[in-house]
Structure 1
Amino acid sequence: MKSNNLIKNTTASVLTISLLASATVYADQEDNQTYSLETVSVLGQTYRNTATKTSLEVEETPQAINVVDSEQLEERSVKSLNQALRYTPGVTTEQKGASVTMYDTFNIRGFNAKQSYYDGLALQSLTGWNLQPQIDPIAIQQVEVFKGPTSVLYGAMPPGGMVNMIAKSPQSESKTDLGVATGSRNLQQASIDSTGQIGESNVDYRFIGLARKQDGQVNGTEEERYVIAPSLNWHINDNTLLNVSLYYQNDPAMGMNSAMPASGMLVDNPNGNTNPNTSVGDKNWSSFEREVFLVGYKFEHSFNNNVTFLQNFRYMKADLEQKNTYHVASNFDATTGNLDRNIYDTSESSEGIVIDNQLSVKVNTGIIEHNLLFGLDYQKLDGDSAYNEYGTTSQFSTFNIFTPNNNMIDPSQLSATYSGKDKVTLEQVGAYFQDQIRLNNWVLIGGGRFDKFKSSSDYSDNYANTYSEADQSKFSYRVGGLYQFDNGVSPFVSYATSFEPTSSTAGQNYEPELGQQIELGVKYMAPDMSKSGTISAFNIVKSDALMADPTNPWGNKLQVGEVTSRGIELEGQWYLTDSLDVTANYTYLDVEITEDSTNGLQGTTPIYVPKNAANLWANYLIYDGVLGGTRASTGVRYVGEMEMDATNTQGKVPDYTVVDLSFGYDFAYLTNSMSGMTANLSINNLFNTESYTCYDEFNCWYGAERSAELALNYSF
């Protein structure tokens, strides 16, 4: 894939000109002029709560939901959805190690989230391959994590939950944020976020731009990204709004994701050791490039105060090219450290559309208020992939992980030993309804959905052509209730089912994955809103669950009989004073394959599932004195030990605790002439704690090492 240099250079030019222009404007201001520091975070008229597709508040939703707002994203210098979810209870993030940045790989309540949502619509990924769109946090207003089955509103979903990233929307009030950042691994970043009304018209705009480049954690790698995200709100009249948005992202370099053996990493090896910077790739070969283009609209019309129609549509075009290496157990000799790497490349592309139609109707029958929702959504994806394998490095010379030579592969000497092409299509249509009922202090929700899913895979290689297709359908439903006591205590209960259709892949068909969850809990919001919390207990059962084959990670998957996840989540936030607030959570997870008569995995725990996890984040703000305008924040993340492999026979991945720090400063406290200027210093993994994740003992990844970032922002 060739990088779009024109767009990349245009992005950098726009950001540079904007920063220079802002500096000129700032220099022309009177020293005693005061800028407004007040900002209002508006989610937008077309915003819908992820859990209900209505405006129902989180505290009123009879199911667990977490929100990560833009302030938290900025304080922690978040660069990916993976990083945004680090402090969320019930979520195990960065399954391929925190240093792997090109994928968002996480699970919720023990079940992998295969795709995320952006502004209520699925970010379609290419089934069975590597092409997965990512949204940079520069374009995100907040992240919402909805726990438990969500198929009743969204269709294909795992039973653990889903993540929906809410996009920044145009605002009527004019504001421009200009930012620059530098930090570890030669970080260079510039950004712009500008919004406001266009003249005296009824159109509001937003323009977001980002240019970022830094060295990867792994030796010899780079990470580079350019983002342009303009959007418009056209207030056609008092009852009608049209939002049009575009998102373009170019990733010329995204590091690498090659795994390493556990030996010499988390398992001692007297012959040598690796470290978080060790690369098993090659500077002449290893690369990862991706482009993503999204364009869409939201059309909302209110017929009257009780009836509203919303149509949400998006078109996606994405491309990926990578050159990489992989290995299996037979490739590694622990006594010498020699590793024979299989050399391969992929070229992938996808094109898709997603549309969701929602009709909301409010009906009052006596003292009962009904908020009815009727929906019809549709998605289609077409994708192509080409795969080539070029043998192993042992054909040229032997690679050693303890004394790595990353200058061994000569691409001109490579010839493909295996080639395959895959053409993938999928199509899904779903019709759903929901009734949200208010009766005095009761909030009741019930809904159902019918999905029809079709997919096909036409795979050809050196040996044969294989065509397979799937045609699956299912009715999903949920019911739930919450009672709001006057003292702020709100007990709730819910029952929901999930449906995950399984796409055909390289000639293999699978049964759809089905799930069900029962959840009981209590939410609390103090009358003065100084304290809030949630306690929830859940039991999830998933049948016909797909899992990677422990004997062949790159081959067809295994379908086991049943996986059960039982757990408890506790979380709370407390504003102790005007200056100090603390947020803490704890998760207990007991996940087990409870039925599997075919593959011998019954009684085992899946990988990437810690039994215990806990997080704490505290903010302290200083308003007076010499340090007035300073914010000091600290976070502690604990992730318990996990199984190293699917068979639970290769040992455990050790637990770890990571400490993060963040400091902010508002220069308006120093002098009025610097109003609008802020700084944020973040230090992740303060004590440089080593952490790991593993697929098995031959495929492990390091977590992120210590990093620091200093960001300066000017708002006007």
Structure 2
Amino acid sequence: MNPIFSTGVFKRSTVSIAVALASFSVYSDAFAEEVETIVVQSEGYRNTATKTALQPEETPQGITIIEGEAIEQRDAESLSQALRYAPGVVTEVRGGAVTLYDTFTIRGFGVDKSYYDGLVLSYLNGWNLQAQIDPVAIEQIEVFKGPTSVLYGSMPPGGMVNIIAKAPEDVASTEVSVATGSHSLVEASVDSTGPLGDTGLNYRFIAKASQQDGQVDTTEEETLLLAPSIDWHISDKTLVNFNLYYQNDPEMGMNSSLPASGMIYDNDAGSTSASTFVGDKNWSEFEREVFMAGYKINHELSDSWTFLQNFRYTDASLSQKNTYHLASNFDEETGTLVRNIYSTEEEVSAVAIDNQLSGVIITGDLEHNVLLGVDYQNLEGDSAYSEYYTTDNAFYEFNIFSPDNDLLDTDTLVESYAATDDIDVEQLGFYVQDQLRWNQLVLISGGRFDHYKSTSYYEDNYAYTAESDAEHSQFSYRVGALYELSNGLSPFVSYATSFEPVTGVDADGNSFDPELGSQVEAGVKYVSLDGGLAVAGSVFHIVKSDALVSDPDSTYGDQLQIGELVSQGVEIELAAAITPAWQLNASYTYTDMEITEDTDSDLEGTTPIWVPEHSSNLWSDYYILEGLLTGARISGGVRYVGEMQMDAYNTDTVPGYTLVDFSIGYDVQRFLPGVDSASLNLAVNNAFNEEYYSCYDSANCWYGAERTATVSFNATF
């Protein structure tokens, strides 16, 4: 938890040394004159690592927890931005201006879907529709490293992110927040919680409205959010939570890239900037609407056994009008870029349910924490894709070094191509886990069986059809051990597997097997006896096999399944209380990743894009505890990401970068009688406006987020 300033007394809440280790937010009793213990999770909370109420430090795998207050202090406006200081995670791989996706990698592997309170967030595979959770509704973020298929089913081997929602509380409180800043930002939100009279119901109501100009010219970003929830304590043993989440994004910036020439590479013809837009304001629409409704039932069957059912229904849609280009569309000598015009209309309807039975069995000196579960997912979605040409040739005379974003006359558009893609995905999983404790020894083992089915039916206006099916039955498992020494050291070792379903058939008509992953991880976690220092370090080795690769003998884009990728490296995290007022968090990640098998011999030995060999983070908080500035906080951070590959063939690299952020907070409650708390916060990201980039290839690159400054005022009643 983070500090609370009240009437000049510095109060620190400590949950436990274990949670401190997992979250790397370590506090000792010496921090405060008065210590409070506050549990922020609801009764239905289950940690990502074990799907139980046990503390995550008892799991012999890496996990990082990011608290909501840290997200707020750093002015993170998306999940990707909130993950900037998470070790082993590379965020915003499509740059700073593309905000309609949460794009990141964990330990070198791309993550295309995240979880919200333990259930998957719907994503229309292969398209653009992705549900995103606004940070105003987030209690904390849990980043679990390595394979997690044993608990969640289909998953990349690098890891996963689980977003924990803010839950109703039994103490009345209402927080109002307003903010302004860069790009003409105007934002207001309210977060109210407490009991509903004497009904036995607790509520939470979160609302937000924000609007700002996009980073690139002519674009805007706008969000409207409502997230109400209710806890109903039917009895001392039964809690039912009902929750809704509605988000409407009428404007979502842009979704296009730039050539590297004039950006990363010097070009005598000119240069681009972070605000350069290669689209046209007359054909630039990115609108999304997401509605989610769910419930949780948490019932204590006895003193030792608990049943949890977690359910969510999702309905979402996205409309996009955009342009794209190919490498051959760009004339490097003149800067002329020929753009193609397209649109998509995408919809998703999905349900997800997870049933968990957990209990404790004690036999002598052995304590078994047993978990049995059954989960189910179903997604039905479709996308209507169209391409156009214009009879007005002026649109095609576009120069990226002197951009004119007002060239398209939409009355001249003619549809040249249309297609629909109907997608149906279904997954049923059964899992079991036993977390055994014998004195200081913790052993964990688990297994899971999944049955997965998916269908994609593609049809265009030329009567071309293509159907891709996949049906897999797969077993995943995890084993691990951790030993808690009396001096605070806890060495651990684990082995876990994962699988990712793939659709389609090879040139001979044989269905593909799922892509499989496995990880060996060994390390140590340490918490000093006074709780003032926490360190965790691990080495990992991940192998992804049966990866799809292009068939070099096919002229029809067929694929083969013989690829293999290996990611291995080191992660180190540290949190220290230098003084009662000064805290420090730091991390370092080394990743060595390469393709070890491929049909294209030129790809063997290469490193995939978006994988830096070295990355590190440093964040410091200093609290002024006495004097005229009592109640002030000064925070700052440095993020370093090493160079990454320009393209799949490693023909060049994208330069690494170092970014500096800072945040200043001040408690102004003493000046506002009648409010429980009030604060001002200034957050500046990329303070020195460093120019940095990411690339898919030399024809598709993105600028990172330019400097932003946000001032916010929060008051709690």
8 Å Cα contact 1:560-1:598 kept in structure 2: no
Residue in 2 that maps onto 1:426: 425
Residue in 1 that maps onto 2:16: none
Shift of 1:495: 0.2
Residue in 2 that maps onto 1:4: none
8 Å Cα contact 1:362-1:371 kept in structure 2: yes
So what's the TM-score if we normalise by structure 1? 0.92
The DSSP-based 3-state class of the residue aligned with 2:171 is coil
Distance (Å, rounded) in 1 between the aligned partners of 2:304 and 2:476: 27
Residue in 1 that maps onto 2:588: 586
Residue in 2 that maps onto 1:696: 697
User: Which deviates further from its counterpart, 392-401 or 678-687?
Assistant: 392-401
Letter paired with 1:126: L
CA deviation vs aligned residue, 1:398-435 (integer Å, no higher than 9, x gap) = 10000001001111111111111011001000000000
8 Å Cα contact 1:545-1:562 kept in structure 2: yes
8 Å Cα contact 2:548-2:563 kept in structure 1: no
CA deviation vs aligned residue, 1:608-641 (integer Å, no higher than 9, x gap) = 0000000000000001111111000000000000
8 Å Cα contact 1:59-1:525 kept in structure 2: no
CA deviation vs aligned residue, 1:243-264 (integer Å, no higher than 9, x gap) = 0000000000000021000000
Residue in 2 that maps onto 1:184: 182
Shift of 1:394: 5.5
Residue in 1 that maps onto 2:712: 711
Match of 1:544 among 539, 543, 546: 546
Shift of 1:523: 0.3
Distance (Å, rounded) in 2 between the aligned partners of 1:313 and 1:535: 36
8 Å Cα contact 2:644-2:654 kept in structure 1: yes
Residue in 1 that maps onto 2:283: 285
Residue in 1 that maps onto 2:235: 237
Q: How does 1:264-275 map to 2 (within 5 A)?
A: 264-275=262-273
Shift of 1:269: 0.5
So what's the TM-score if we normalise by structure 2? 0.92
User: Which deviates further from its counterpart, 671-680 or 413-422?
Assistant: 671-680
Residue in 2 that maps onto 1:472: 472
CA deviation vs aligned residue, 1:442-494 (integer Å, no higher than 9, x gap) = 11100000000001011101331222211111100000010001111000000
CA 1:39–1:287 in 2, change beyond 3 Å: closer, same or farther? farther
Shift of 1:370: 0.3
Distance (Å, rounded) in 1 between the aligned partners of 2:59 and 2:448: 19
Q: How does 1:517-596 map to 2 (within 5 A)?
A: 517-546=519-548, 561-596=563-598
Residue in 1 that maps onto 2:32: none
Distance (Å, rounded) in 1 between the aligned partners of 2:241 and 2:664: 36
Residue in 2 that maps onto 1:46: 44
The DSSP-based 3-state class of the residue aligned with 1:72 is helix
Shift of 1:54: 1.2
Residue in 1 that maps onto 2:148: 150
Residue in 2 that maps onto 1:114: 112
8 Å Cα contact 1:127-1:503 kept in structure 2: no
Alignment of 1:77 onto 2:87: no
Shift of 1:670: 5.1
Shift of 1:668: 2.9
Distance (Å, rounded) in 2 between the aligned partners of 1:82 and 1:547: 28
Letter paired with 2:376: Y
Shift of 1:597: 2.6
8 Å Cα contact 2:80-2:102 kept in structure 1: yes
Shift of 1:600: 4.0
User: Which deviates further from its counterpart, 538-547 or 477-486?
Assistant: 538-547
Please give the root-mean-square deviation of Cα atoms over the aligned residues, in Å.
2.4
CA 1:677–1:457 in 2, change beyond 3 Å: closer, same or farther? same
User: Which deviates further from its counterpart, 413-422 or 633-642?
Assistant: 413-422
CA 1:559–1:219 in 2, change beyond 3 Å: closer, same or farther? farther
Match of 1:334 among 332, 335, 345: 332
8 Å Cα contact 2:224-2:248 kept in structure 1: yes
Residue in 2 that maps onto 1:491: 491
Residue in 2 that maps onto 1:63: 61
Q: How does 1:213-362 map to 2 (within 5 A)?
A: 213-362=211-360
CA 1:115–1:484 in 2, change beyond 3 Å: closer, same or farther? same
Shift of 1:547: 6.7
8 Å Cα contact 1:582-1:617 kept in structure 2: yes
Letter paired with 1:664: G
8 Å Cα contact 1:467-1:506 kept in structure 2: no
Shift of 1:375: 0.3
8 Å Cα contact 2:68-2:138 kept in structure 1: yes
Distance (Å, rounded) in 2 between the aligned partners of 1:396 and 1:271: 20
CA 1:321–1:281 in 2, change beyond 3 Å: closer, same or farther? same
Shift of 1:510: 3.8
Shift of 1:391: 3.5
Distance (Å, rounded) in 2 between the aligned partners of 1:681 and 1:351: 40
Letter paired with 1:285: W
CA 1:521–1:619 in 2, change beyond 3 Å: closer, same or farther? same
8 Å Cα contact 1:457-1:506 kept in structure 2: no
Distance (Å, rounded) in 2 between the aligned partners of 1:619 and 1:449: 42
The DSSP-based 3-state class of the residue aligned with 2:469 is strand
Shift of 1:544: 2.0
Match of 1:365 among 331, 350, 363: 363
Distance (Å, rounded) in 2 between the aligned partners of 1:58 and 1:359: 18
The DSSP-based 3-state class of the residue aligned with 2:695 is strand
Distance (Å, rounded) in 2 between the aligned partners of 1:323 and 1:93: 25
The DSSP-based 3-state class of the residue aligned with 1:422 is strand
8 Å Cα contact 2:343-2:386 kept in structure 1: yes
Residue in 2 that maps onto 1:481: 481
Letter paired with 1:188: V
Letter paired with 1:408: L
Residue in 1 that maps onto 2:641: 639
Letter paired with 1:445: I
Residue in 1 that maps onto 2:666: 665
The DSSP-based 3-state class of the residue aligned with 2:414 is coil
CA 1:556–1:346 in 2, change beyond 3 Å: closer, same or farther? farther
The DSSP-based 3-state class of the residue aligned with 1:62 is coil
Residue in 1 that maps onto 2:400: 401
8 Å Cα contact 2:384-2:420 kept in structure 1: yes
Distance (Å, rounded) in 2 between the aligned partners of 1:265 and 1:530: 45
Letter paired with 1:661: F
Letter paired with 1:713: N
Letter paired with 1:517: Q
Give the aligned length.
Answer: 683
User: Which deviates further from its counterpart, 318-327 or 384-393?
Assistant: 384-393
Shift of 1:555: 7.8
The DSSP-based 3-state class of the residue aligned with 1:568 is strand
Residue in 2 that maps onto 1:201: 199
CA deviation vs aligned residue, 1:279-322 (integer Å, no higher than 9, x gap) = 00111001100000000000011111111100000000000000
8 Å Cα contact 1:98-1:704 kept in structure 2: yes
8 Å Cα contact 2:506-2:559 kept in structure 1: no
8 Å Cα contact 2:551-2:599 kept in structure 1: no
Residue in 1 that maps onto 2:608: 606
Residue in 1 that maps onto 2:15: none
Shift of 1:679: 0.7
Distance (Å, rounded) in 1 between the aligned partners of 2:70 and 2:535: 18
Letter paired with 2:680: A
CA 1:639–1:511 in 2, change beyond 3 Å: closer, same or farther? same
The DSSP-based 3-state class of the residue aligned with 2:690 is coil
Distance (Å, rounded) in 2 between the aligned partners of 1:251 and 1:700: 25
Letter paired with 1:444: L
8 Å Cα contact 2:577-2:583 kept in structure 1: yes
Distance (Å, rounded) in 1 between the aligned partners of 2:253 and 2:621: 33
Letter paired with 1:448: G
The DSSP-based 3-state class of the residue aligned with 2:354 is strand
CA 1:421–1:556 in 2, change beyond 3 Å: closer, same or farther? farther
Shift of 1:116: 0.2
8 Å Cα contact 2:480-2:494 kept in structure 1: yes
CA deviation vs aligned residue, 1:10-48 (integer Å, no higher than 9, x gap) = xxxxxxxxxxxxxxxxxxxxxx9x9x9989451111101
8 Å Cα contact 2:533-2:576 kept in structure 1: yes
Shift of 1:128: 1.1
